[in-house]
Amino acid sequence: MSKLEDILHLAGCLCLIVVVALINADILLRVVFNHPVQFQFEFTELYLMPALACLSLSRVFRDGGHLALDFVPDHLPGWFGKVVAHLRLLLPAAFFAAVTYMSGAFALHAFAQGDVEFGVVDWPLGWAYIVVPLGCGVLVLRLLYDAMGGQASTE
């Protein structure tokens, strides 16, 4: 599981590098040659930004780098502490499972219908949408794994 998370995180990081390269190339080409990178905005908006937002979710959670609003201490004693520790993982898992299901259905529909975003390039939307269920689905697996024996322990 860690390997998959690392691969998705690497892909997300590479997308960030591509965003930076495309935006800077667009700026330089506009200023110097008056010729912008025509596809940059659409490619960044449709493919790269969703990948940035979703592919690293599980790895960042695993490493403890996520943002959290903690109003209950990490470790509470006894059976109540165990219940709270599990709920802190299972409730987000349920939410992200719903996001995975709905976004997966949306991506599948886009693939089945051949949905396209018309622009400088005709962008197939199924590939743009697939990163959301992929990133969220791996996060669900991480949350369930931690709840069943990984991080949920209060000992």
Residue 113 has pLDDT above 70, yes or no: yes
Mean pLDDT of 60-66: 86
DSSP codes of every residue in 27-51: HHHHHHHS---TTHHHHIIIIIHHH
How many other CB atoms sit within 10 Å of the CB of residue 69?
4
How many other CB atoms sit within 10 Å of the CB of residue 7?
13
At 82 the pLDDT is: 82
The residue assigned the tokens 């590479």 is 14
Q: How confident is the model at residue 65 (pLDDT cuts 50, 70, 90)?
A: confident
What pTM was estimated for this model as a whole?
A: 0.84
User: What is the token pair recorded at 123?
Assistant: 């962008």
Higher pLDDT, 28 or 68: 28
Report d(CA 141, CA 96) in Å as an integer. 10
Residue 108 has pLDDT above 80, yes or no: yes
